[in-house]
Amino acid sequence: MGVGDVSKRILLGRKLRSSQLGETLLPKRIALPVFASDALSSVAYAPDEVFIMLAVAGASAYTWSWKIGLAVALVMLTVVASYRQTVHAYPSGGGDYEVAMVNLGRTAGITVGSALLVDYVLTVAVSISAAAQYAAGALPFLIGHEATIGCLAVALLAALNLRGVRESGTLFAVPTYLFMAGILGMCAYGLLRLLAGDLPDAESASLDIRPQEGWEGPLTQVALFFLLARAFSSGCAALTGVEAISNGVPAFKRPKSRNAATTLLLLGLISISMMMSVIVLAEQMTIRYVDPLELDRLRTEAGNALPDSYEQHPVISQIANGVFDHFPPGFYFVVTVTGIILVLAANTAFNGFPVLGSILAQDGLAPRSLASRGDRLAYSNGIVFLAAMSALLIWVFGAETTRLIQLYIVGVFVSFNLSQLGMIRHWTRHLGTERDPAERRRMMRSRAINTFGLGLTAVVLVIVVITKFLAGAWITILALGFFFVLMQGIARHYDQVALELAADEEDRVMPTRVHAIVLVSKLHKPTLRALAFARATRPNVLEAVYVDIDAAATYRLLEEWDERRLDLPLKVLHSPYREVVRPIVEYAREIRRSNPRGVVAVYIPEYVVGRWWEQLLHNQTALRLKGRLLFAPGVMVTSVPFQLRSSQIARDRDRRSDDRVKAGDLRRGRIRRPDARRDRSGR
């Protein structure tokens, strides 16, 4: 086993057989943190965005915060109820994409696939950026390096997910449950202190917020509606990640659909409880929170500007600092687990994106490499692609959550709407053939839920697009269009290739003539072996070919050829510009043109070496030549290997790897128990 193999095994763990796929399935207690961490973690930034949007009109607009929270909670409950219908009807893991493709057609399916791909990338970028901001707030020396921290976190998450879904899920389960316990415990204690009348004010309660320019006076009804719509659209970031469970149904243990539906319900209840509690406590503690890029709008009670050194802490951080004012460990615990869960929230996308990518690849809408499972039965190529795209976004936007979140949720609500419409058609189609009264009532109830969900999510999508378009949502719409066009292009390419590769009767016709040429650089063992192998294939014509770039070397070769009395013609190609590859390629093409129904077989002697650096010293001309000949029609290239002594190193390395005892060898009978050998020897 080489250094690369050892490093890979340390990073990813031992390989898993395809038959072990069942061992990677998740029980509900592990599936909840794996697929719900994104939606649960939104409590760390969705309330912040609500208060930021309301702060446009000053602190007086904060009275609307709990009402906006209730509106977001209503949408979440509706979406959860709708997806519970989806996981029962389509348990194969296609989720929104499969629903749209089956019920609305290919165009709708590609649209949903594009939207989900963009949303998964943004999920990672937003979650990791928020975590980097929390880290910089807790550790001042990290300020200014948030993008670097975010990219490193993405790389770490990708490495962990390459080890497999179950292993990464088990690892992430504990922090997720600690986060839920921390937030719910903080909120419960804070609400108890509120009822007792001793809930302290937040650290920013003494500050005032200066409204943005144009929002200073009393608000008209139109302005108030637009303000609340913006705050509502930002709060709807709490809904992202809900769709991941419908895409991950195959990862659940049996019964898959029931377990996925139960996990969805738990996700909705826990997420709503945390979000509403945080919003209520933030308002009761008189938190003042503005866009981090507009801290100059915060003023002291006397109307003076704050010092440049002022740091605005996130909403949860301020709540924890106030609720646990006499218990600092509680504050540090909440802040720590919140930062961790924001990193782990991206794990939802790392589980959903590869599965969706594999389904798109199987349908010919994405590169087929995305459908390949790695050593640990994870879709490794999808994980790497997601990590690269999200790290690029984090770096370009400087890990600023407020800038990235404007690109957020457009894609997910596009998929929400098309999924709901597809489910309505699904139930309508089945109602046309179903005769059982009880089953018809169930289908009609499900259709009513999806119809209500479509109406609600359509309104939200319109609000999101209108309020966020100029703020950055146009970038998301362009990205959706790019992926849509790209997937259609990939599909056309695969369709065209399939047509070209379709076998017909002409493909069974034997070539009329095989003209074999053996490339000669020197008259040594590799060349003689290639000549012998070419003879064994019995071509119609066989000749050796040498490129003359040095007259003296050519003369010596001709002399040696005559001395050995090789009964084979040696053709010398003159190369005035000392090129080796071009004369051979042109000669092969000329033979092909002279006999279009014939085949040109080119035999290339190659060295087999055992050390990586030796490969740099040999076979370079052969590699370039094979690359050029691949584009020549009717030309077949055959490499004739000759093992140098150093190749023994590689063989010995492989042999040692094969002889090493590995997990499962005893069960498969490859080795015997020591006591069994002693019994047979009679000792």
**Could you tell me which of 432, 559, 579, 412 has the C-alpha nearest to residue 39?**
412
Which tokens sit at 36? Answer: 């719900």
List, by residue range, all CATH 1.20.1740.10 domains of the chain: 26-495
Give yes or no for residue 19 having a pLDDT over 70: no
Lowest mean per-residue pLDDT among 164-168, 374-378, 492-496, 562-566? 164-168
Lowest mean per-residue pLDDT among 285-299, 310-324, 491-505? 491-505
User: Cα(230)–Cα(212) distance, rounded to whole angstroms?
Assistant: 14
pLDDT tens sequence across 558-608: 999 988 888 889 999 998 888 889 999 999 999 999 988 889 999 999 888
User: Cα(319)–Cα(334) distance, rounded to whole angstroms?
Assistant: 10
| CATH classification for the domain delimited by 512-644, as one of 3.40.50.620, 3.10.580.10, 3.30.420.40, 3.10.20.90 | 3.40.50.620
* Count of CB atoms situated within 10 Å of the CB of 614: 16
- Residue 169 vs residues 30, 97, 190: alpha-carbon distances, Å: 6, 24, 31
pLDDT tens sequence across 470-486: 777 788 888 889 999 99
Give yes or no for residue 655 having a pLDDT over 70: no
Determine the pLDDT at residue 398.
Answer: 82
Q: How confident is the model at residue 58 (pLDDT cuts 50, 70, 90)?
A: confident
Task: Produce one character per residue of 84-112: b if its CB has 16 or more CB atoms within 10 Å, e if not.
Answer: bbbbbbbbebbbbbbbbbbbbeeebbbbb
How many angstroms separate the first and last alpha carbons of the chain?
A: 36
User: Cα(640)–Cα(619) distance, rounded to whole angstroms?
Assistant: 12
Determine the pLDDT at residue 7.
Answer: 46
Rg of the chain in Å (alpha carbons) = 33
CB-based contact 136:335 (threshold 8 Å): no
**Could you tell me which of 377, 367, 371 has the C-alpha nearest to residue 355?**
371
Determine the pLDDT at residue 282.
Answer: 93
- Residue 3 vs residues 44, 179, 506, 653: alpha-carbon distances, Å: 42, 39, 49, 11
Determine the pLDDT at residue 182.
Answer: 94
> In sequence order, what are the residues at sequence separation of 6 or more whose Cβ sits closer than 8 angstroms to the Cβ of residue 672?
none
List, by residue range, all CATH 3.40.50.620 domains of the chain: 512-644
pLDDT tens sequence across 166-201: 455 566 688 889 999 999 999 999 999 999 999 999
DSSP notation for 498-550: HHHH---GGGGPPPS-EEEEEE-SSSSHHHHHHHHHHHHT--SEEEEEEEES-
> In sequence order, what are the residues at sequence separation of 6 or more whose Cβ sits closer than 8 angstroms to the Cβ of residue 3?
none
Can you tell me the mean pLDDT for 293-300?
A: 84
User: Average model confidence (pLDDT) for the chain?
Assistant: 82
Determine the pLDDT at residue 2.
Answer: 44
Q: How far out from the chain centre does Cα 254 lie?
A: 25
User: Cα(393)–Cα(121) distance, rounded to whole angstroms?
Assistant: 8
Determine the pLDDT at residue 240.
Answer: 75
DSSP notation for 667-683: TTTSS--HHHHHHHHT-
Relative orientation angle of helices 46-54 and 315-323, to the nearest 10 degrees: 100
Can you tell me the mean pLDDT for 123-150?
A: 79
Measured CA angle at 179 (ends 21, 53), to 5 deg: 110
Give yes or no for residue 539 having a pLDDT over 60: yes
Q: Side chain identity at 382, as an amino acid letter? A: G
| CATH classification for the domain delimited by 26-495, as one of 3.90.1150.10, 1.20.1740.10, 3.40.50.300, 3.40.1260.10 | 1.20.1740.10
Can you tell me the mean pLDDT for 387-392?
A: 90
User: Cα(629)–Cα(602) distance, rounded to whole angstroms?
Assistant: 9
Which tokens sit at 289? Answer: 């929170």
* Count of CB atoms situated within 10 Å of the CB of 376: 21
User: Cα(423)–Cα(449) distance, rounded to whole angstroms?
Assistant: 10
Can you tell me the mean pLDDT for 86-104?
A: 83
Give yes or no for residue 682 having a pLDDT over 50: no
DSSP notation for 251-315: GBPSSHHHHHHHHHHHHHHHHHHHHHHHHHHHHHTT-----GGGGGGEE-TTSPBPPTT--PPPH
Determine the pLDDT at residue 170.
Answer: 62
User: Cα(150)–Cα(2) distance, rounded to whole angstroms?
Assistant: 32
Give yes or no for residue 10 having a pLDDT over 80: no
Can you tell me the mean pLDDT for 337-343?
A: 83
Q: How confident is the model at residue 627 (pLDDT cuts 50, 70, 90)?
A: confident
**Could you tell me which of 471, 530, 404, 422 has the C-alpha nearest to residue 89?**
422
Determine the pLDDT at residue 371.
Answer: 79
E-strand ranges in 86-214 read 208-209
Give yes or no for residue 407 having a pLDDT over 80: no
pLDDT tens sequence across 222-265: 888 888 888 888 888 788 777 778 777 877 888 888 888 898 89
Determine the pLDDT at residue 405.
Answer: 67
